[in-house]
Chains A and B, each alone.
Chain A
Amino acid sequence: MSAYFEIKDLLVGFRTFEETRPVLNIERLAIERGETYGLVGESGAGKTVLALTILGLLPKPAGVIQRGEIWFDGEDLLKKSESELASLYRGKRLAMIFQDPMSTLNPVFTVGQQIERVIEYHQGLRGHSRTQKAVELLEMVKLADAKNILKKYPHELSGGQRQRVVIAIALSCGAEFLIADEPTRNLDVTIQAGILQLIDELRKNLRITVLFIANNVSLVNVFCKRVGILYRGKLVEEGPSPLVIREPLHPYTQTLISALPRDRSERPRFSGFELKPEAPQGCPFYSRCPIGVEFCVQQQPRLEAVIRPEHKAACFLARSR
């Protein structure tokens, strides 16, 4: 019995002249219905690649899915054809919010035209009922003066407003699984809070599941029930977010969390990485690991439960401390 959403043994690579270079290698990642799962990783860790893989939008021909399964509500998405994905999944059941609300909307059309097009295309609504639905959607994302905003071009809106419009479009056709790829990047902190709150409210009200991608651990802590830490395409730690934040098991997570500024008296500690040679056969984090031992070079650690069954880490040394 697989979970509502489950990634099994996924290997995604990017083709280069010499080889297909692995960029994402996930043994298992499961998300329960209605949950918010936070995925954290530095830039280049493979977060966006994961999101695009789920939607079947990996850039072609560079990106290749070498093996694996992505189960969504009893179906393997990787076995679906492009036309099935386009007509049955994207927009209707899966939706995605992109990083930069500045460029997610088409600059030559008004907000209204863009929302109404999607509604018309997926739900066949026309005329007045279509406009009505568009207004409702903008009200759903708490945009004041929805009727007026429909008439505006994207460049006439602020970043926060645009991201709300993007969310409205993403959820316009009843998607139940939302991938939010750093939705608050490039936004002010206050606006960030508003957007996060909105996504959380929508999750509760519309009973959707959210895969929340971020490069900031503290965002995830407030907002997600469980969190996974992605490093170089691999999950290195996973568990309930308070637990991961409070008692990080993996040295990478530990450095991430110790880098968070806490209060004024304490200066953030950027424990500088002491670079060691890469370990192609071993742990991906070895070259930057402050505690790595010789054994780490020889074998790749697997994501395994440490201390508590729900809290997992991929580190040989996690158990010993």
Chain B
Amino acid sequence: MLARFSEVYQSLSPGLRELRLTLYLLNRNALQRASLIVIAFLVVVAILAPWIAPYPSHAFSATNPQDKLLPPSSRYLMGTDELGRDLFSRIIFGTRISLQTALVAVGLALLIGVPLGAVAGGLGGWVDELIMRITDVFLSFPPLLLAIAIAAFLGPSLGNAMLAIAISWWPWYTRIIRGQAVSVRERQFVRAALAIGAPMSRIIFRHILPNTMAPVIVQASMDLGGVILTIAALSFLGLGAQPPTPEWGLLISTSRTYFLNAWWYSTFPGIAIFVTVLAFNLIGDGIREVLDPRTRKF
């Protein structure tokens, strides 16, 4: 197996080679393999939601009052909610929403945080000072509280919740990148790039940034789980998704009222959140292990 792998491996282009190796190594650890499978499964479910869900119309506004609060059965795999909608279909559509919002929120936070961190670390001096003091301001708020405040200020909606999360999250990436950039800046190849005539702006993005990405990739993949959790929390508090969106946190929030006589209503969305967050956290750990040659296990 390994011999065949290395044969194929040699023929790939350098970038693909690295990606292939990372995936291969992730795949070798049972726990990481399981989380890779879970994530792949979630992605497939999210993409194919309208075709998989037995009652696609139940995901949003359709109601079905005569079947309300039915326990799991062969007809409704995870039972129904107070309006008689199929919980299974709603959770499937919820996968879509959770993955989407998590990707967008983390992506937005990276988009703000990474360039700022690279510029701060690469240039140093007063630019660094300015950017880092701003991040200090953001970091001095408890993260969920800041997100709640922003979401409350912008008005409750899923889009605003994503924005709120991105705004409270980017300083972490700025810090990580900046710390890395400061040390990479002192490396010889930066000096060599200067000596061959490259301007600092180019060096920051072409040479320093790529060398700082590894810890951020790890952090971001772990954050995907955290962000899903935060979105769920915001929705639970009424600051994220609004009914009838089938968002997991919102499902749990509405289920509170029926908690005592409809156990399935809060349990299945809870399990969905749990499994997803766990998978992302495990894969984050795995990526960290695999990206660092010293902890790589062949």
Contact = CB atoms under 8 A, between A and B. Distances in A.
B206 interface: yes
A57 B194 contact: yes
A98 interface: yes
B195 A109 contact: no
B90 to A, nearest CB: 44
Nearest to B197: A91
Given A106-B211, A109-B210, A87 B192 contact: no
* Most central of B187, B189, B197, B207 by chain A CB within 10 Å: B197
Interface string B197-213: 11100100011001100
A117 B206 contact: yes
Contacts of B191: 57, 98
B74 interface: no
Nearest to B208: A106
Contacts of A100: 188
A268 B194 CA distance: 41
A189 B206 CA distance: 34
B140 interface: no
Given A108-B211, A151-B14, A153-B14, A103 B189 contact: yes
B13 interface: yes
Nearest to A94: B195
A100 B210 CA distance: 21
A87 B210 CA distance: 24
A95 B210 contact: no
Contact of B188 (A103, A152, A172): A103
Nearest to A121: B198
Interface string A120-131: 011000000000
Nearest to A88: B197
A96 interface: yes
A37 B192 CA distance: 21
A90 to B, nearest CB: 4
Nearest to A175: B196
B196 A170 contact: yes
A86 B197 contact: yes
Nearest to B198: A121
Given A103-B188, A121-B202, A96 B195 contact: yes
A110 B195 CA distance: 19
Interface of B: 13-14, 187-189, 191-199, 202, 206-207, 210-211
Given A87-B197, A106-B189, 18 more contacts: A55-B194, A57-B194, A90-B194, A90-B197, A95-B196, A98-B192, A98-B195, A99-B188, A100-B188, A103-B187, A105-B192, A106-B193, A106-B210, A107-B189, A109-B210, A121-B202, A151-B14, A172-B196
